[in-house]
């Protein structure tokens, strides 16, 4: 196996949308639900959700082109009800009447605004349409909130055992933000429950569209758009067959970007994200993810200190240290990003993208760093292999500790953590 360097992965693979996995998560959790749960109640909720979806599609003019169905993976999505030609409109949603939109000049960050509005619509819908929209969403009480970072129990269980430091840092930061936002909202509404707030926040962070005005005439907005969140995601360019735009009339329009045959599923692209993002905020992992990666080092200085020890060089070697400073500065000038040093309060430029990705892809900054330091690409690749083996060994040895930590979690979350780690190990193993 050889290591290649590229600025971005060339291949794209399918990544089902987190929204569509919500139903699978609910099913998984239902299997372990108390026996007292009413089958009739579940059936009624499913029937209400289905009728609401039909109502939404009809209202948005999508009933003639789209039908809600289930794909081969058991995931809900939108399918072509007839042959659809490129350029045809699939649905049109008024941002005023058919969406939950933030106010960029409002009194709170966009996520709090949208979550607050979603709670209000759940309690007392402003219109019949919004009542139908809320009923089409995953319901509060079907299980913990969507995504590991939204689940307080997961955060507590994984905080001190998970061997992915980036995931732990993101998860901990987000957990603090949820707690702080809940406290602020609870001060405004004493009837607000934490479960209710986590439900709303998890939906906001897994379903929101970012609305940007390319002409810069208005600030960026975020919106939950009814009907649009029924379309699943794919990161395979040839599978993506529709796209969306928010026009000047504040109408959210989804159109076909290619011919779609009757019965085929519609797919949107939701961008390129690694497994960490999906697991923390969406509660699933794509079947395959060419954008998944393993961070080899936190920064360039850490990488070169590791390489110095690998070579057996003396930490007091002036020649080595001068060369290290030269290499770090050179790579920083080309690939460095400014970040805030929490200890000093100063902004400094660091090399953050030191990663190994799917298909044995090494980031340009990583390969350049080692190439410059050792002066030989084969030696640089050998060092990367050594680092990969070291990280894999650490991950395997931490498995027992992690298994003990996640034992308190539900089966779905346990499986998500295991799959996440397994895929990281596979990336490392491919190079080794």
pLDDT at 4: 36
Residues 273 and 302 grouped into a single domain: no
Query: For position 121, which CATH number holds?
Result: 3.90.1410.10
pLDDT at 98: 97
Give, rounded to a whole angstrom, the gap between the first and last alpha carbons of the chain: 8
Residues 138 and 160 grouped into a single domain: yes
pLDDT at 46: 57
Which pair of structure tokens corresponds to residue 176? Answer: 């603090």
**Using CA atoms, how far apart are residues 404 and 369, in angstroms rounded to an integer?**
38
**Using CA atoms, how far apart are residues 222 and 215, in angstroms rounded to an integer?**
17
Q: Going along 1-151, which residue ranges are E strands?
A: 4-6, 66-70, 76-80, 89-94, 99-101
* 183 φ/ψ angles, rounded to the nearest 5 degrees: -60, -40
Residue showing tokens 């941002």? 95
Residues 142 and 226 grouped into a single domain: yes
- 13 domain residue, yes or no: no
Residues 221 and 174 grouped into a single domain: yes
Q: How far lies 66's CA from each of 132, 235, 309, in Å?
A: 18, 21, 60
- 130 domain residue, yes or no: yes
What range does the domain containing 40 cover? 18-285
pLDDT at 273: 85
- 118 domain residue, yes or no: yes
Residues 279 and 304 grouped into a single domain: no
Query: Within 13 A of 8's CA, how many CA atoms are on the CB side?
Result: 3
Residues 334 and 221 grouped into a single domain: no
Domain count of the chain?
2
Q: How does DSSP classify residue 213? A: -
**Using CA atoms, how far apart are residues 424 and 388, in angstroms rounded to an integer?**
10
Residues 278 and 310 grouped into a single domain: no
Residue showing tokens 């796209």? 243
Residue showing tokens 């193993």? 429
User: Is the separation of the CB atoms in 332 and 345 below 8 Å?
Assistant: no
Residues 328 and 368 grouped into a single domain: yes
- 105 domain residue, yes or no: yes
Per-residue pLDDT tens for 325-379? 999 888 988 887 877 766 677 777 777 789 999 889 999 999 999 999 888 889 9
pLDDT at 32: 33
**Using CA atoms, how far apart are residues 382 and 307, in angstroms rounded to an integer?**
11
pLDDT at 284: 81
**3 state DSSP class of 215:** coil
- 272 domain residue, yes or no: yes
Q: Enumerate residue ranges in the chain where pLDDT < 50.
A: 1-43
Per-residue pLDDT tens for 375-392? 888 999 999 999 999 999
User: Is the separation of the CB atoms in 318 and 253 below 8 Å?
Assistant: no
pLDDT at 26: 38
Residue showing tokens 């490129």? 86
Which residues lie across from 260 on neighbouring strands?
Answer: 84
Q: Going along 55-208, which residue ranges are E strands?
A: 66-70, 76-80, 89-94, 99-101
pLDDT at 67: 95
Residues 140 and 271 grouped into a single domain: yes
User: At 225, which helix (H) or strand (E)?
Assistant: strand 221-225
Which pair of structure tokens corresponds to residue 204? Answer: 């906001």
pLDDT at 244: 94
Residues 281 and 354 grouped into a single domain: no
- 80 domain residue, yes or no: yes
pLDDT at 145: 66
- Among the candidates 233, 266, 285, a domain finishes at 285
Residues 337 and 399 grouped into a single domain: yes
- 372 domain residue, yes or no: yes
Residues 49 and 196 grouped into a single domain: yes
Residue showing tokens 């619509």? 121
- Among the candidates 243, 258, 285, a domain finishes at 285
- 107 domain residue, yes or no: yes
Q: Going by C-beta distance under 8 Å and a sequence separation of 6 or more, which residues neighbour residue 77?
A: 20, 68, 69, 70, 71, 230, 231, 232, 265, 266
- Among the candidates 267, 285, 303, a domain finishes at 285
pLDDT at 48: 74
pLDDT at 1: 34
**Using CA atoms, how far apart are residues 91 and 88, in angstroms rounded to an integer?**
9
């Amino acid at each position: 196996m050889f290591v290649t360097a590229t600025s971005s992965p060339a291949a794209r693979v399918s990544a089902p949308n987190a929204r569509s996995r919500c139903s699978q998560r609910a099913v998984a959790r239902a299997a372990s639900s108390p026996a007292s749960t009413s089958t009739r109640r579940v059936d009624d909720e499913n029937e209400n959700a289905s009728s609401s979806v039909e109502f939404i599609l009809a209202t948005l003019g999508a009933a003639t082109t789209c039908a809600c169905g289930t794909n081969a993976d058991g995931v809900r999505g939108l399918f072509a009800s007839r042959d659809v030609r490129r350029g045809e409109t699939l649905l049109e949603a008024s941002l005023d009447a058919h969406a939950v939109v933030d106010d960029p000049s409002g009194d709170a960050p966009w996520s709090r605004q949208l979550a607050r509005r979603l709670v209000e619509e759940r309690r007392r819908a402003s219109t019949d349409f919004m009542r139908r929209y809320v009923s089409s969403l995953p319901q509060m009480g079907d299980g913990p909130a969507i995504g590991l970072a939204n689940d307080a129990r997961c955060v507590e269980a994984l905080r001190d055992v998970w061997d992915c430091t980036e995931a732990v840092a993101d998860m901990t930061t987000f957990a603090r933000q949820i707690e702080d936002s809940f406290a602020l909202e609870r001060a405004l509404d004493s009837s607000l429950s934490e479960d209710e707030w986590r439900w709303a926040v998890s939906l906001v962070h897994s379903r929101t569209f970012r609305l940007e005005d390319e002409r810069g005439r208005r600030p960026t907005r975020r919106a939950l758009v009814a009907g649009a969140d029924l379309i699943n995601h794919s990161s395979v360019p040839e599978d993506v067959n529709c796209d969306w735009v928010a026009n000047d009339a504040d109408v959210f329009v989804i159109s076909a970007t290619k011919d779609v045959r009757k019965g085929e599923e519609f797919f949107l692209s939701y961008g390129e994200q690694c497994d960490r993002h999906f697991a923390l905020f969406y509660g699933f992992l794509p079947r395959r993810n060419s954008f998944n990666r393993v961070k080899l080092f936190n920064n360039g200085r850490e990488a070169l200190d590791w390489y110095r020890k690998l070579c057996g060089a003396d930490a007091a070697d002036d020649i080595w240290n001068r060369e290290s400073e030269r290499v770090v500065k050179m790579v920083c000038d080309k690939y460095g990003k400014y970040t805030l040093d929490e200890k000093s309060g100063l902004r400094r430029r660091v090399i953050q993208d030191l990663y190994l990705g799917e298909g044995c892809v090494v980031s340009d900054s990583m390969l350049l760093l080692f190439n410059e330091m050792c002066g030989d690409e084969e030696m640089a690749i050998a060092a990367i292999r050594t680092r990969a083996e070291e990280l894999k060994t650490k991950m395997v040895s931490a498995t027992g500790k992690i298994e003990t930590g996640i034992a308190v979690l539900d089966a779905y979350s346990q499986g998500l953590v295991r799959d996440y780690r397994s895929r990281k190990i596979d990336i490392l193993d491919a190079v080794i």
